[in-house]
Each structure stands twice: as structure tokens, then as C-alpha cells.
Structure 1
């Protein structure tokens, strides 16, 4: 698949199962993640692969966050479900360094966000499906500790990876760009 086709046809897939990327394929995904815009070459991101027993640990951490943050029953059910939606996840943490004046925190956050999207594209390019999820539980203190977050870091989401068994055939989506594009 050529790059433009990938960029214009990528879709999130939520019902995922094995196979998942192997170590060599994961390495390509992480290489793609490190080739994003990165002012100051800070590499303001960290990735945590979650699979096997780690998925059960993640469920416990998400449920802990629901309790800590006093979220509703609906969020608890989602926390219980999210860790079992696929055989592999990658948590993406923005590693924010506020001591570097020339690269503001928001720029570092955007770089981490770009790295997450690059991982999605690299996974798609290798034949894997994925979805990027987040939720209020990313601020749970047990989860943040387990993911190695410093106080200024931000968990920006989970890239859920696998192979879709129920790929929905969709017509190519064409967006009317005149609603959000202008020229100076």
C-alpha cells in the first residue's frame, strides 16, 4: 500500500484478535514513532507494551482509577472491558520536560501524539488493525505509577493492536475540506 492510500483510507478497528505484531514488526512500529516532528530532539515519549498477564494488570489499574477518580458504573464496565478488547496494547506517555524553554510542553505533547499516530500507520502498513483509546482513567495514580510517569508526564492513550476478524467494508470517506481550510 502506498503512503497516500494508507493516509486516506486508515480507519480504526475495535474488535481485534491475534495475530499481533512480532518483535521485528514492533521494532518497525517504534522506529516509525521516533521519526516524527520533535523540536529539540527531546524524544518526549515513552511506550509500554502490554500483553499476556500485563492485560490483566491493566484491567486492575483501570478499575483502581475508576474508584480513585469516583467515576460512574459505565466507566467501570468500560475499564473491565477495555483490557480484553485485543491481545496487545501500547500505552503512550508524553514525557514532558518543562525545563527547556525553547520547546514548550504543548509542543512536546504534540510530538508524543504524532508518535502514537505514526505507530498506528506503521501497524496498518504491516497489515495490523488498531484503535487509539483514552479516557479519564489515564489520570489514575496507580496507572501512572505502573507506566513510570513523572509528575509532569501525561498518559495520552493506548494503541490497541491486533487483527480485525470483522473488517467492515466501507466506502472511501471523502471529507469536505472547505469547512476547515482557508488561505492567507
Structure 2
């Protein structure tokens, strides 16, 4: 797969199964994620990769506990179960700003790291989806990931293999959001 094909065919996939990346593939994915624009070489991000059965069970329990503690009822508990089983692996991307430097640049760098992680997974034949919402604000998940007061979980990247091929074009009419001078 060439670079343009990679960039134009990546799609979010909410149903993921095994296989998922092994440790060597995760190392490659994380190496790619750390090559993003990073003004001042601040590395304003870090990752927590959940790939073991025990780690996934702990993650699923934290999502369940988050849902139970929320004011939103049983519907959210069911959603927590779906999210927890959405993929065989999860990589949390945590925005970790450095003091005294422009936070907006650091936040963008962390977002680029999350996207690069998805692209690197796709380049190795895996699929992914970026999950946010109430889960990334969970005090229980923040505690489990040892987040400081300044850190934010910007996304949970579910990674695995889609059981179906997604060949649907997306955003092909660039005229609606591009202007040429």
C-alpha cells in the first residue's frame, strides 16, 4: 500500500476482532506515532497500550464502573460493555503538556500522534476507531492511567482487524471545504 492509498482508505471501524498487533508491531506503531510535528521536541503525549487479556479485563471493568457511577443509567452501562469489547487492543493517547510552552501547539501534536498511530496500524494491516466521549473524562480511567491534573486522555484507539472490508469513499468532494487562491 502506498502512502496516498493509506491516507485515502483509512476508515474508522467499530467492530474489530483478532488478530491485533503483537509487541513488535506495537513498537513500530508507537515509533510512527512519535514522529509527528512537535515544536521544541516537547513530546506532549504518552501512550498506554492495553493488549493482554488481563489488561483488557481491567479496562472493561473500569468502563463498567465509570458507567455505573454516571447519572445516565442502564443505557450507559450497556454502552460501556460495547465500548470495552469494541477491539482486542486499546491504545490510550494522553495529552501531557509541558509547562511554559504554548498548549495549543502541544495539543495539536498529541492529536497528530493519535492519528499517526491509526495510520501506522493501518499500514500494518490493522483497523481502528478513535473513541472519546465520557470515557476519556472518566476519573477511574484517568487514575488507572496515572494522569496528572494537567493531562487529558484525548482518545482510546481501539485496534484490531475488521471482519468486513470497508471500501466506501469518504469526503471525496473537496470543493465543499477547500478554497484555492
Q: Which residue of 1 aligns with 2:156?
A: 158
Aligned residues: CA RMSD: 1.6
* Distance in 2 of aligned mates of 1:46 and 1:174: 30
CA distance in 1, matches of 2:14, 2:127: 8
**Hey, what's the Cα distance between the residues in 2 that align with 1:171 and 1:68?**
38
Query: Structure 1 stretches of 5 or more lacking a match?
Result: none
Unaligned residue ranges in structure 2 (runs of 5+): none
- For the residue of structure 2 that corresponds to 1:80, the secondary structure is helix
The TM-score with structure 2 as length reference comes to 0.91
- Given the alignment, which residue of 146, 149, 156 partners 1:148? 146
> Which piece of structure 1 moves more, 69-78 or 141-150?
69-78
State the shift of 1:183 in Å. Answer: 4.2
Higher mean alpha-carbon deviation, 63-72 vs 153-162, is at 63-72
1:70 aligned partner: 71
- Conserved? CA contact 1:65–1:139, under 8 Å: no
Instruction: For residue 161 of structure 2, give the secondary structure of its aligned residue in structure 1.
Output: strand
Aligned with residue 173 of structure 1, among 161, 166, 170: 170
Give the superposition deviation at 1:83: 1.3
> Within the alignment, does 1:14 sit opposite 2:14 as a pair?
yes
Structure 1 contact 46–92 (Cα < 8 Å) conserved? yes
Work out whether residues 6 and 125 of structure 1, in 8 Å CA contact, stay in contact via their aligned partners in 2: yes
Q: Determine the structure 2 residue equivalent to 1:84.
A: 85
Q: Distance between the aligned counterparts of 1:27 and 1:60, measured in 2? A: 26
CA displacement 1:91-138 (0-9 Å, x = unmatched): 1110022x22xx322221111111011011111111111111112122
SS in structure 1 at match of 2:67 = helix
Contact 2:136 2:156 in 1 (8 A): no
* TM value normalised by structure 1: 0.90
Q: Which runs of structure 1 show a deviation greater than 4 angstroms over 4 or more consecutive aligned residues?
A: none
Does the CA contact (< 8 Å) of 1:68 and 1:140 recur in 2? no
